[in-house]
Amino acid sequence: MEIRNYTIGLSPMDGITDAAFRLTQVEIAKPDLMFTEFVSAEGIAHNAIRLFDQLLYSPKERPIIGQLFGKDPDSFYIATIVLCHLGFDGIDINMGCPAKKVTQHGSGIALIENPELAGKIILATKKGIADYQNNPKVFNKLKLKQKVISLLSKRGQGEIENKKIGFSIKTRTGINNSVVSTWIPFLCSFKPDSITLHGRTLKQGYSGLANWDEIAKAAIICHDSNIKIFGNGDLQSRQMANEYCQKYGTDGALIGRATMGNPWVFDNKNVSFKEKYQAMLIHARHFTKIFPHRCFDPLRHHFLLYVSGHPNASALRQQIVKLTSIDQLCALEQSIVG
């Protein structure tokens, strides 16, 4: 059977899919769709300037979706307008994050147990998109500090005439057990453009296997409402993603953890450690240019994954955890390339 090509995107990952990571991914093997790491709606609404680094992006990444998490509908309304002003192609609500720091405050996957609040958040987000599209000057009515307004004015990608801003939701199958048969119809009742379903429960975290049979059930429900669905979980390559889309009836899929240390996952390509070293340099240069005020620490985790499977991986790991600059990375070229 011939496997057709589906829409395969980069899944949002907290602390991973920042602007430097995504731009590196674009240059090496561009996905069909990209998401920011999730950003606190309450933080944006309360003028937390430090969060706006998470909303940096390049036009090269389009289509690029801004993802929000939180539990306050009013904050979602404000944050949605801010993301629209920044020129994102769509707004995604995170209703699937299993991290305790998120769920203990009633956000992420915890919203499955609070459908009334989830519905209010969805409506506030949709209203934010609609209000902005009807009149972009609604941004000027937000009660943002002048410092934030000035920052956003510099970073905005400009108004795009007649641009449709999409709305989507990313979620999981349930808390302890799957509630796909009730949760997905509830989400579909709000008519999002698409839903992404990770095939695990909160209880599973990232352990065990993603249940794609539950994703297939959700696909039938979504398609009955003319809503697109993307599957997520355990995908190791674009080829595997296409096969799963066809097998389980989804419109596309998002690949997450498999991209870490392996941006070629979207090209189905095996590469040498010379190519991996070049990717490390690209990633480091983007990071230091985009975030000149940040230390090198976030890159080390990525670099450790790039050298996974290297004959001298143990010795390289000891050196990588001490890296503080691109010059030090350059000094490792011979050790990595051989």
- 67 is an annotated ligand-binding site residue: yes
* Residues in Cβ contact with 29 at an 8 Å cutoff, skipping those fewer than 6 apart: 263, 264, 265, 266, 267, 269
pTM tops 0.85, yes or no: yes
- 256 is an annotated ligand-binding site residue: yes
pLDDT, tens only, 152-195: 766 655 555 557 899 999 999 999 999 999 999 999 999 999 99
pLDDT at 265: 95
pLDDT, tens only, 74-107: 999 999 999 999 999 999 999 999 999 999 999 9
In a domain, 1, yes or no: no
Tell me the Cα Rg of the chain.
20
CATH of the domain at 25: 3.20.20.70
Domain check: are 47 and 126 in the same one? yes
- 236 is an annotated ligand-binding site residue: no
Spot the catalytic one: 97, 188, 222, 245.
97
Q: pLDDT category, 278, cuts 50, 70, 90? A: very high
pLDDT, tens only, 14-65: 999 999 999 999 999 999 999 999 999 999 999 888 888 899 999 899 999 9
Domain check: are 190 and 169 in the same one? yes
- Average pLDDT over every residue of 304-312: 91
How many degrees, rounded to 5, is the angle at CA 17 between CA 109 and CA 122? 35
Does the active-site annotation cover 330?
no
- Specify the 3-state DSSP secondary structure of 250: coil
Last residue of a domain, one of 267, 299, 318: 267
Domain check: are 263 and 277 in the same one? no
Domain check: are 315 and 173 in the same one? no
Q: How many CB atoms lie within 10 A of CB 208?
A: 12
In a domain, 2, yes or no: no
Tell me how far apart the alpha carbons of residues 243 and 230 are, in angstroms, rounded to a whole number.
13
How confident is the prediction for the chain on average, in pLDDT?
93
In a domain, 17, yes or no: yes
- 278 is an annotated ligand-binding site residue: no
- Average pLDDT over every residue of 131-143: 91
- Range of the structural domain that residue 330 is part of: 273-337
pLDDT at residue 128 is higher than 90: yes
* DSSP code of residue 193: S
Closest CA relative to residue 90, chosen from 5, 14, 193, 161: 193
**Cα 97–chain centre separation:** 11
pLDDT at residue 4 is higher than 80: no
Query: How many structural domains comprise the chain?
Result: 2
Domain check: are 217 and 315 in the same one? no
Phi, psi of 33 (to 5 degrees): -155, 145
Closest CA relative to residue 187, chosen from 65, 78, 92: 92
Tell me: cis bond preceding 63? Omega within 30 of 0 counts: yes
Q: What is the DSSP pairing of strand 194-201 with strand 90-95?
A: unpaired
Tell me how far apart the alpha carbons of residues 18 and 264 are, in angstroms, rounded to a whole number.
17
pLDDT at 144: 84
Domain check: are 123 and 199 in the same one? yes
pLDDT at 247: 97
